[in-house]
């Protein structure tokens, strides 16, 4: 870095809303996204909701002359939807799938089938090692009665832990994605407090775009106006976060969001607005390379306590659901045993006769089998959920003990 001490890095982040057969004008918008990435000169593109590998292949072919490396992260039933395009060679990749991610029977939401994850790519620019993370957390479908809040808090905690434990060899950490959390939400406060990541919107020297940096706005023709009625200005749920871990400093020179329709087009790129950050990385002398430790601050203790409370709420809910499914399975099994006893008695010529016609008796048996299988599978699912939430709550308890010990010794 002797010739040019400052490295400029331009990042493009977008939730592409690329659901096959459901997203409006998907192919046209994917083409538009490819056009802007090939002409605007970004160094990194972090994309979410590219659910179709065909769309990824289309983008990869279109951008091959501009971006030498790319990677598509695969997970879940229909994929993670995450992909990264880089002007610089990708040295390594890794994917971590979150331990809890909604419910398979909530088909209308579909998050469980997506395999929500965090993807990591490692790149090297001018001898600087960058750990670049892209993620997409569980959606918030109802602000007032958010049944998925405990899952999203767990995902934020696992994301923070994943970054902390995988970034030890990096000089700079970058995180982009649709976090589905407002800036004041407990999950984003936990993520930033635990990792030390800085919000590009809060620390940028120059900002252009939607008011308050909102990335989901009512003016977008693809957004659900009913869901946005409580947020007339929109909400900010897409982020570019950053942190320097060694003898480098990093600042955000500018942050820009799109504001509706794409230039020269009648439609926007997506139902989300794109986030475009210009970062400056500069070497500073004297510091030894090594990751920064989580600082013990009273605010972080309060945030961690709040997050732990939300996890406990989710744990109690999961335990109740497990009990209900288990009880249903037992009742279905008893009904099957009773029918079996009645049928066996009839075959053996016993006095116990079935009170129903054969067709009704068979349908009742089929219903009992279906109920037994469904409730048994759901009981197993909620048992796994309970175990995951218990494990997270225990991790948070230990983290709180560590933070309180540091504060008492300070």
Q: Residue 229 has what pLDDT? A: 85
Joined tokens for residue 244? 């320097």
Neighbours of 322 (CB within 10 A): 19
Q: Residue 290 has what pLDDT? A: 46
Q: Is 272 a catalytic residue?
A: yes
Joined tokens for residue 139? 């959606």
| Average pLDDT for runs of 10 along the chain of length 410 | 78 96 95 96 97 96 96 93 97 97 92 94 96 97 92 98 96 98 97 97 96 95 87 95 94 96 94 98 68 73 97 97 96 88 69 63 85 95 97 97 86
Rounded Cα distance, 362 and 60, in Å: 55
Could you tell me the pTM of the whole model?
A: 0.92
Choose the catalytic residue: 71, 151, 272, 382.
272
In three-state secondary structure terms, 253 is strand
Rounded Cα distance, 384 and 6, in Å: 48
Rounded Cα distance, 297 and 403, in Å: 8
* Residues 46 and 12 sit within 8 Å (Cβ to Cβ): yes
């Amino acid at each position: 870095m002797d010739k040019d001490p400052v490295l400029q890095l331009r990042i493009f982040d977008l939730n592409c809303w690329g659901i096959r057969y459901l997203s409006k004008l998907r192919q046209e918008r994917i083409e538009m996204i490819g056009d802007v990435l090939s002409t605007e000169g970004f160094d990194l593109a972090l994309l979410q909701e590219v659910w179709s590998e065909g769309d990824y292949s289309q983008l990869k072919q279109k951008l091959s002359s501009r971006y030498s490396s790319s990677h598509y992260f695969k997970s879940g039933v229909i994929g993670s939807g995450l992909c990264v395009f880089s002007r610089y060679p990708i040295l390594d990749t890794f994917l971590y799938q979150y331990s809890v991610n909604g419910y398979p029977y909530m088909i209308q939401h579909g998050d469980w089938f997506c395999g929500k994850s965090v993807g990591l790519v490692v790149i090297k620019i001018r001898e600087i090692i960058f750990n670049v993370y892209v993620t997409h957390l569980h959606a918030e479908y109802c602000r007032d009665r958010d049944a998925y809040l405990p899952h999203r808090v767990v995902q934020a905690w696992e994301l923070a832990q994943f970054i902390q434990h995988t970034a030890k060899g990096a000089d700079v950490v970058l995180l982009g994605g649709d976090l589905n959390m407002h800036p004041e939400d407990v999950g984003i406060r936990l993520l930033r407090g635990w990792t030390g990541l800085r919000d590009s919107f809060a620390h940028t020297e120059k900002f252009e775009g939607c008011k308050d940096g909102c990335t989901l706005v009512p003016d977008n023709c693809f957004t659900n106006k009913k869901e946005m009625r409580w947020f007339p200005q929109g909400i900010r749920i897409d982020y570019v976060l950053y942190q320097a871990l060694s003898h480098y400093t990093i600042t955000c020179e500018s942050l820009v969001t799109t504001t509706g329709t794409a230039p020269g087009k009648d439609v926007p790129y997506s139902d989300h607005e794109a986030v475009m950050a210009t970062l400056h990385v500069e070497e500073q002398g004297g510091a030894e390379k090594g990751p920064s430790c989580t600082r013990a601050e009273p605010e972080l203790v309060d945030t961690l306590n709040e997050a732990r409370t939300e996890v406990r709420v989710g744990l109690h809910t999961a335990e109740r659901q497990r009990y209900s499914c288990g009880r249903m399975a037992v009742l279905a099994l008893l009904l099957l045993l009773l029918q079996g006893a009645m049928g066996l008695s009839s075959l053996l010529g016993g006095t116990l006769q079935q009170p129903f016609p054969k067709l009704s008796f068979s349908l009742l048996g089929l219903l009992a089998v279906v109920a037994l299988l469904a409730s048994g599978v759901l009981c197993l699912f909620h048992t796994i959920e309970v175990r995951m939430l218990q494990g997270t709550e225990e991790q948070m308890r230990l983290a709180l003990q560590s933070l309180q010990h540091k504060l008492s010794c300070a």
